[in-house]
């Protein structure tokens, strides 16, 4: 989870994002779900159970602007493991949420499968011009059974590719020998680079295989991650 705060800036700092964790937003669950304890939430705090189980489930973020912004974008960092989830629960084939600004015209936000609940991607929607003052930005489940793990809302200007990589997606690194895959999320604090870590695991793997005769029962599957536009 992310713990950064900031403000949309002008000029050379136009890419600096304003970030809000989903559990700190106003959450409405039409199905009547009660807040639950989420160990993945920052500080182990209680987090609202927004999953998009019912149409109308929403996460709303109120933000104040000192200056007007004509080309702001909303990034929604999320994860969704369709294969694991649909084995026990119904899923919507739409793969779409909606972004609503100040009760205006809804903006479609495509949020397809990320392959794992631990693999995050960021979907992006272009927002209408925003005047100085207070605005409500809401992410709404358009259809029932649109279950998604919403992690973070990111408000920014400029190209999505200019955002720090850990805001765009989970960092995925695969070992040169294809023995292991490393997925890193923003809360991971590592002195070593992902490439150094997976290289180390390759050496460990070879040690176990050559000196102890042990190998994992099957290869580790890898999934690709990229920025998605709504």
**Mean pLDDT score across all residues of the chain:** 75
Boundaries of every domain in the chain: 11-169, 171-212
DSSP state of 125: E
124 pLDDT band, cuts 50/70/90, is very high
Higher pLDDT among residues 194 and 6, named by residue? 194
More confident residue, 104 or 31: 104
Residue 188 has pLDDT above 70, yes or no: no
The fraction of the chain above a pLDDT of 90, given in percent, is 20
**Helices and strands, counts by H and E, the chain:** 3, 14
Nearest to 137 by CA among 224, 52, 73, 227: 73
Does residue 30 have a pLDDT over 50?
A: yes
Check residue 34 and report its DSSP letter: P
Q: What is the pLDDT of residue 2?
A: 27
What integer is the mean pLDDT of 76-82? Answer: 89
Residues 6+ apart with CB under 8 A from 23: 1, 38, 41, 42, 45, 46, 47, 48
Does domain 11-169 correspond to CATH entry 2.60.120.260? yes
Q: What is the pLDDT of residue 227?
A: 47
- The predicted model scores a pTM of 0.69
Q: Tell me if 14 sits within 8 A of 152, measured CB to CB.
A: no
């Amino acid at each position: 989870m992310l713990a950064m705060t900031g403000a949309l800036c002008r000029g050379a700092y136009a890419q600096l994002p304003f970030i809000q964790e989903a559990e700190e937003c106003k959450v409405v669950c039409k199905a009547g779900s009660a807040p639950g304890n989420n160990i993945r939430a920052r500080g182990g705090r209680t987090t609202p159970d927004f999953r998009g189980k019912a149409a109308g489930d929403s996460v709303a973020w109120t933000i104040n602007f000192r200056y007007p912004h004509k080309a702001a974008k909303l990034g929604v960092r999320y994860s969704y493991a369709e294969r694991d989830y649909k084995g026990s629960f119904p899923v919507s084939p739409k793969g779409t949420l909606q972004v609503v600004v100040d009760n205006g015209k809804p903006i479609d936000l495509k949020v397809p499968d990320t392959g794992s609940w631990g693999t995050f991607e960021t979907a992006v929607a272009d927002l209408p011009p925003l005047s100085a003052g207070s605005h409500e930005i809401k992410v709404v489940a358009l259809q029932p059974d649109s279950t998604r793990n919403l992690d973070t809302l990111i408000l920014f200007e400029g190209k999505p590719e200019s955002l720090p990589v850990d805001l765009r997606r989970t960092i995925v690194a695969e070992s040169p020998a294809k023995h292991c895959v490393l997925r890193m999320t923003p809360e991971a604090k590592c002195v070593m680079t992902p490439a150094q870590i997976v290289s180390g695991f390759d050496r460990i793997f070879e040690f176990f295989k050559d000196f102890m005769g042990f190998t994992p029962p099957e290869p580790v599957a890898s999934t690709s991650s990229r920025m998605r536009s709504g």
